[in-house]
Structure 1
């Protein structure tokens, strides 16, 4: 069988998107449950393919070409596959994001305007080594009525192919081509030029990678970049709570973008707090790199200027002692990636100042940065974490994959009537109502 060109795949996705937009929520959700069932029934096949990727990744790790974090993100397990199917079913169970009336406005008697949520259309996604990302993106795209162009990393190619085929076969009754897999790096450059066919590009990767995508396409880009996340232990913190949060934020899963990379500690509590947390980190094999003030309290390596802006994705943490809340805010503003920050404090006013002073996508009080996640936010899943401010922000779930149209329902109305000749005026009255084809409100 001849492999389809990237252009053909995108054309098929365009046609599929128009059909998928007309599907009922029940029909889209049924397809998602079919995907979950198919993954449940294919554990052996998926894990066998994943093992090929992991073995190759470990070879490249030994050669110094891959990091341990990348290999960790590659690995699937029966428990991980169960969490993937749970995620798919969670997406299926979300409220329908389409056909919602955001605004209903009576322009005049018998002339009503409705702002309705609709799919974006064709979404091109380029993502990193985690094979579960393919399933997350496909599930969210299907539930929101979008066609998806899926480009995973070559390091997960075997896993991605198997998962894609399972999804494709499980949704055989859906519009053909609603999900398309591309694999070659050259295919990315091809889709970046197809601004007439692709409505949104969502890259997940480093800032340099996202910048490359933005610089080489005229398609709107929703960037999902690195996470240089911070935990600030304030002078008014409950230190027991701070210890648990700082430990969870780094150790629970260090290879992801919402893991903490820099911890800031107020000087008033540093001498009491740092020895305890440093001991716990040492037991978990966390390499701590500290500034001079930190190293005067605990025996750790020296942090460099580069450390403050580095996403390790590993069991490494940089620590700085600060003399004030203002200095902590200045540090986060200077070195952060606008992903997720957390303050640990019992002082509500100081927490409020911290949260209002930062423009990161997510800012927490007395909680681990690891909560910055679409599933944990109740979004079902996420296509990634957006650190920008336009269209969608933070964990991007179903709402981030929708836009809106204006539907105007009239009864023979013409603009000339409102030109002032007979004194007719617009009413412009908002009302509670939902659009129904062909009908007007009472």
Structure 2
């Protein structure tokens, strides 16, 4: 048997203990992690500096280097996320259904941890902290595989977080870091011990994972996000929101990549909008009209995640064409409409098939921390069992508990007894 097989078996045993921990132990562990990260920051920053130097030596693209950087600001952000998790209600042990089947025969449905989760994520060390913290609060054991560019930072973070958790009462083996790409294929074979895989990356990568494992997969695909500017939009508001959605932080999956502009605005609004984007340093790609009118390069691919100071702009005749474009070319991540028409806003939110649909605000809001989830393990573009930013609720399942007193099925089958099925409010 491989070493990873033995590690997974150990993690499975740890998951049973994690599921039994009370809120006090989990919150103590989170507080301990926050403190340990602060105390170990110089060691972590030094490891990150090594990764950054190697990335620059290998000419890693600028957006990826921005994701890779773990500095004081990133540390403060992840610690704020941990502190907000502590304040959140424990997602485990919540009764979500209560039914009296018959006198003295009581059924409840109660939330419980998933068990052992494997998360494969990009070169963002802060993601490791967020995922580990969410797994503590939700009572799950976890395997973590980050991008190779962040290997030194991830090792430093995982060591600090694992020890801080164990020191606070978590079981040994609750957190496991994979460092080799070859270990991904090995992990995908461990369906006996791992309950859920969460891959974060391109759609092709997510599809590869799904096709090469018997483990359930919660897909986090690419973020081809749109903002549609309606004919009844407040144009000043539209420019403000659009610039934030594109430029506030470009190397993230919830940045807008394509702007759809209603054709009624092509003379009054579009010239100023294109100029505002270009003045902000954004390279614009356009459809035939935008390309010819404003002398910009033609957009060759509408399903495209730039992750850079680049965007596409397309003219659409109405809201229905905008919705059709988004549903065809989008990734089901996050899409927004800018409009003063409430009926149009409602139509957009109903018809666009995405995990997050927004009205008159930046797509950058689509985030677990900003939604009040504490943090997120990713943004799921699938529909089962969680969708959109996956926080604590996406990391728990449930079990049914039935308590009786010597009850048997026979009398209900021969008709001598009947179920009452009294449903109680929770």
TM-score, normalized by length of structure 1?
Answer: 0.94
* 1:214-272 C-alpha deviation (Å, 9 max, x unpaired): 00001000011100000000000000010011100000001000000000101111222
Determine if contact 1:380/1:397 at 8 Å carries over to the other structure: yes
Determine if contact 1:271/1:297 at 8 Å carries over to the other structure: no
1:84 alignment partner in structure 2: 78
- Distance apart, 1:212 and its partner CA: 0.6
Aligned residues between the structures: 423
1:331 alignment partner in structure 2: 325
2:190 alignment partner in structure 1: 194
1:27-426 equivalent positions in 2, closer than 5 A: 27-61=25-59, 66-172=60-166, 173-304=169-300, 306=301, 308-420=302-414, 423-426=416-419
* 1:140-160 C-alpha deviation (Å, 9 max, x unpaired): 111000000011110100110
CA distance in 2, matches of 1:366, 1:256: 20
CA distance in 2, matches of 1:127, 1:5: 22
CA distance in 2, matches of 1:123, 1:336: 28
CA distance in 1, matches of 2:280, 2:71: 22
- Distance apart, 1:296 and its partner CA: 4.4
- Distance apart, 1:356 and its partner CA: 1.2
* 1:64-111 C-alpha deviation (Å, 9 max, x unpaired): xx3221111001221111111111111122111000111000001110
SS at match of 1:272: coil
2:13 to 11, 15, 21: 15
5+ long unaligned stretches in structure 2: none
SS at match of 2:75: helix
Moved over 3 A (4+): none
1:440 alignment partner in structure 2: none
CA distance in 2, matches of 1:153, 1:205: 10
Which range moves more in the overlay, 264-273 or 213-222?
264-273
CA distance in 1, matches of 2:191, 2:381: 23
SS at match of 1:309: coil
CA distance in 1, matches of 2:170, 2:386: 27
SS at match of 1:326: helix
* 1:353-378 C-alpha deviation (Å, 9 max, x unpaired): 11111111111111111011001111
* 1:149-176 C-alpha deviation (Å, 9 max, x unpaired): 0111101001100000110121123100
CA distance in 1, matches of 2:268, 2:164: 56
SS at match of 2:118: strand
CA distance in 2, matches of 1:60, 1:69: 14
1:427 alignment partner in structure 2: 420
Which range moves more in the overlay, 372-381 or 52-61?
52-61
